[in-house]
Amino acid sequence: MKTATVKELRQELVQRSPKELLDICLRLSRFKKENKELLTYLLFEIADEHTYIEGVKAYIDEAFAEINTARFFYIKKSVRKILKEVKKFIRYSQKKETEVELLIHFCYQLKSFRPSIERNRVLKNLYTRQLEFIHNRLPKLHEDLQYDYCLLYTSPSPRDRG
């Protein structure tokens, strides 16, 4: 089966009735967890981005607290999984401000994680890549937000962020 292009899908969706669109959305939500999560964001959380960000930050905090610290292998695997989920939440939002804020929070959690990531090259490189990614995204934001995020980006601890 050949997959339709976005243009073809858009043309077909325009021709459908509201009831048919509702049925299509509900059917999509049954097949993949990501589809259901995206629909949840679009229907319930898009109106209040701040609450969405706080919810994702809470998820990050909880996920870091649950990491098995017995070996660096488990730590690396868990950190990669957390970052993958954070990137998925960022994709749902598609807002650069949300992306920067969530990645800064992720980096703070990773930097303050014990045992220290300084003892592991892979985790240290992952942290450095995320910092570079944040640094590259900052110029694309509004000047006021750039200033605010630069303060967050350079503050010494997550508690100082208020």
Q: Is residue 14 part of a domain?
A: no
Residue 125 lies in a domain: yes
The structure tokens 């967050």 sit at: 152
| 13 HSE (CA, 13 A, CB side) | 12
- Three-state DSSP at 49 gives helix
Q: So what's the pLDDT on residue 151?
A: 66
The pLDDT score that the predictor gives to residue 139 is 81
Q: Does any domain span residue 134?
A: yes
Which pLDDT value is given to residue 160? 44
Q: How many domains does one find in the chain?
A: 1
Considering only CA atoms, which of 127, 85, 88 is closest in space to residue 109? 127
**pLDDT score recorded for residue 140:** 80
pLDDT in tens, the chain (162 residues): 888 899 998 999 999 999 999 999 889 889 889 999 999 999 999 999 999 999 999 999 999 999 999 999 999 999 999 999 999 999 999 998 999 999 999 999 999 999 999 989 999 999 999 999 988 888 887 777 777 766 665 655 444 444
CB contact at 8 A, 153 and 105: no
Domain carrying residue 53: 46-161
What pLDDT does residue 153 have?
58
* Integer Cα distance of 142 and 138 in angstroms: 9
In a domain, 102, yes or no: yes
Whether 91 is in a domain gets the answer: yes
94: left (phi over 0), alpha (psi -120 to 50) or beta: left
How many residues does this entry show for the chain? 162
- Whether the model clears a pTM of 0.85, i.e. scores above it, the answer is no
Answer whether residue 16 is part of any domain.
Answer: no
Classify residue 99: in a domain, yes or no.
yes
The answer to whether position 117 is within a domain reads yes
CB 108 within 8 A of CB 127: no
